[in-house]
Amino acid sequence: MRTELEVQDRIRYLLTLEVDRRVAEASARLPHLCRHNRRHPLDVRKEVAGEENEQYNRIAGKSLPVIGLCMLGAEDPTSWPGTICEDPIDAKRCPYFSSVLNKALLEEQFKGELRDLEWVSANLPEVYGLLWALGSEMVPRLPWWKALLFRLLQIRPEPLVRAAPALLPPEG
């Protein structure tokens, strides 16, 4: 039989793992985490302004297919390049990547979710089971050292490291 303190330590350990997972996800450079990325449906119109649309989407299905576009500079359609940002490699190479996630948002979101026991039971079932065993409806706080580390942590998505260009043989 475990003591109440040991069970609470296990809950704190599981919460620490969840915080680490969220920080790792926030630090990743993925298209859906970029402030400039928007999901747009592909054009399914066969005619546009009475003329045939040769680039219309031919993919059929229940839902409308979408594609990720970088909307940076889209205010001016004449100079907007219409860059597609769909794959992780696109976001990793982008010099304009700006994450939508930050420390304050992650911390507030996590604390709010922990207050909702239904969310805890659906997403952190082991924590919920331990809370049930304790007869508690409040999730213990993170360990002090983890909370301090989280406050000091800098969430900075790192760009893809590019290798130095190979040297060309001398001409001649």
In this predicted structure, the answer to whether residue 136 has a pLDDT above a threshold of 70 is yes
What's residue 74's pLDDT? 81
Other beta carbons within 10 Å of 147: 14
In this predicted structure, the answer to whether residue 85 has a pLDDT above a threshold of 80 is yes
Tokens of 112: 């709010």
What's residue 157's pLDDT? 60
Rounded to 5°, angle at Cα 108 from 106 and 20? 35
Tokens of 76: 């001016």
Digit-coded pLDDT (tens) for 32-51? 889 888 887 776 667 777 77
Counting DSSP H helices and E strands in the chain, the numbers are: 6, 4
pTM of the model: 0.61
Q: What is the DSSP letter of 35?
A: T
In this predicted structure, the answer to whether residue 137 has a pLDDT above a threshold of 90 is no
Q: What is the DSSP letter of 32?
A: G
